[in-house]
Chains A and B, each alone.
Chain A
Amino acid sequence: MKAWFADFAADFRLNFIDGSMWKWLVQGLKNTLLITFFALLMGVVLGVVVAAVRSSYDKNRETMALHKGFGYYVFTFVNGICKLYLTVIRGTPVMVQLLIMYFIIFASSRNDILIATIAFGINSGAYVAEILRGGIMSIDNGQFEAGRSLGFNYVQTMLHIVIPQVFKSVLPTLCNEFIVLLKETSIAGYVGVMDLTKAGDLIRGRTFSAFLPLIAVALIYLVLVVVLTALVGVLERRLRKNER
């Protein structure tokens, strides 16, 4: 037991203390959180816009087709773009998207953290959009009709009546999407970003000892995910309590 502990201490020193390699992990974690946070922000903005376009197009197509104006054709076109975006992003692996971003679209830039953030943001936007759209579709059409029949216009009906209900029902799912995003960023190392995973791997390459660095990385992800999941749980319970 004592010998094992001494081994462990030596291993720990080799992997984390010598050459201050623990700082790599800290730096990696910082990059992981940075990418996740800004990708999330971008994902939400993109997702809200795309969901708004997609669901208002579906809801208003009939009325708009009544007087086919210029706006109708613009809207149809924008809706088509959104559909294409959703199909492409959800139909290809995020890894491939990241590589395309890095080696083709932004081939001339070497700001790898920014490129990774954009790639993950664009990817998560598609999933957020579909979660929101699913939430909007799940609201009984009678709610729209009641709002409209009182005289609210489409936007007011969404704002005052539909969105508050959607928000409650999709918030936990959205949070879970963000937890998935946090884990997905672990492939950022492929385009040269030193994220948490890459940092662990660098240490492994330097010390030729795989166990501790990789387990440490796994533990850090695990703690983050467990804590975030617990927070989502609290949120979920709080939302349910307000329902009455």
Chain B
Amino acid sequence: MSANEIIRVSGLKKYYKGDKIKALDGVDTVIHHGEVVVVIGPSGSGKSTFLRSLNLLEVPTEGEIYVNGENILAKGADINIHRQKMGMVFQHFNLFPHMTILRNMTIAPMKLLKKSRAEAEALAMELLEKVGLADRANAYPSQLSGGQKQRVAIVRALCMQPDVMLFDEPTSALDPEMVGEVLEVMKSLARDGMTMIVVTHEMGFAREVGSRVIFMADGRIIEEGEPRELFENPRSERLRTFLAKVL
């Protein structure tokens, strides 16, 4: 394990219905600190399954996942501690509708990290300030627009001060005019050095802040590399066809 390695995945497989559906069919990769890895690929290629395996929202059928050198699939591994260090942002935001924005952000740090209310709220307000939503702290999720909800979802995850952030198509459920504001937040997070794994169809984002692009198809990594290189000189036919469709 190299010093700045954070996640190592090897032989990762996820089968459904016996082995009829191979959502992941042997994925190997290493993620380093500070990397912004963008995962692309056609629908059903296993992008979400891969991302969700990393924090065990999906339990892999086979394979190994090491985070900071620790095998998180081992019998004694504490998955909850592991998840605290790995923030996740969902396509549909998943804010808690019965809590204010501020409460959405402070509940986990207070209950899990045993932070005082003052301490948790201070961090939450600082983050809300950064994403321009400090004035909505006492609103409820239903009172926000989609773009605002997703910005809150991002800072809610950041309140746990994670080592890695996972994004599963964070802008796919948004009206087009709101995509930009969410991508801006993600870009500034990337510039601040956060390790990020992002499933997205936003090729512009990949180009601008991605340090590596992973192209998946049929549950495997077909090709990976530096964004410019990968987009300009795709080696596989699959990637060429895919790029022709999305670019």
Contacts and interface: CB of A to CB of B under 8 A. Distances in A.
Partners in one complex: yes
Contacts of B83: 148-151
Interface of B: 55-57, 59, 75, 80-81, 83-84, 86-88, 90, 92, 94-98, 107-108, 111-112, 140, 142-143, 156-157, 160
Nearest to B140: A244
A107 B143 CA distance: 60
Given A150-B157, A160-B107, A67 B84 contact: no
Give 4 closest A-B pairs by Cβ, nearest first.
Answer: A151-B84, A146-B94, A142-B94, A149-B88
B112 A151 contact: yes
B75 A152 contact: no
Interface bin, chain A:
20 to 34
A150 B108 contact: yes
8 contacts: A63-B56, A143-B94, A149-B57, A149-B87, A150-B108, A151-B81, A151-B160, A156-B111
A204 interface: no
Given A142-B94, A150-B84, A63 B59 contact: yes
Interface stretch (A39-47, A96-104, A112-120, A161-169): A161-169
Contacts of A145: 57, 88, 90, 94
Nearest to A154: B80
Contacts of A244: 140, 142-143
Interface string A40-66: 000000000000000000000011001
A165 B96 CA distance: 9
A165 B97 contact: yes
Interface of A: 62-63, 66-67, 140, 142-143, 145-146, 148-153, 156, 160-161, 164-165, 168, 243-244
B63 to A, nearest CB: 13
B59 A142 contact: no
Contact of B111 (A67, A160, A168): A160
A153 B80 contact: yes
A146 B90 contact: yes
A27 to B, nearest CB: 44
Given A142-B90, A149-B86, 6 more contacts: A63-B59, A145-B88, A149-B157, A150-B112, A150-B157, A151-B84
Interface centre among B59, B108, B142 (most CB of A within 10 A): B108
A93 B39 CA distance: 57
A146 B96 contact: yes
Nearest to A165: B98
Given A150-B112, A160-B107, A244-B142, A168 B98 contact: yes
Contacts of A156: 111-112
A140 B87 CA distance: 19
A140 B94 contact: yes
A153 B98 CA distance: 19
Contacts of A161: 96
A148 B57 contact: yes
A151 B107 CA distance: 11
Given A153-B80, A164-B98, A67 B90 contact: no
Contacts of A243: 98, 142
Contacts of B98: 164-165, 168, 243
A152 B90 contact: no
Contacts of B156: 150
Nearest to A63: B59
A168 B97 CA distance: 12
Interface centre among B56, B57, B81, B98 (most CB of A within 10 A): B98
A37 B217 CA distance: 60
A143 B57 CA distance: 12
B80 A151 contact: yes
A152 B84 CA distance: 8
A156 B96 CA distance: 14
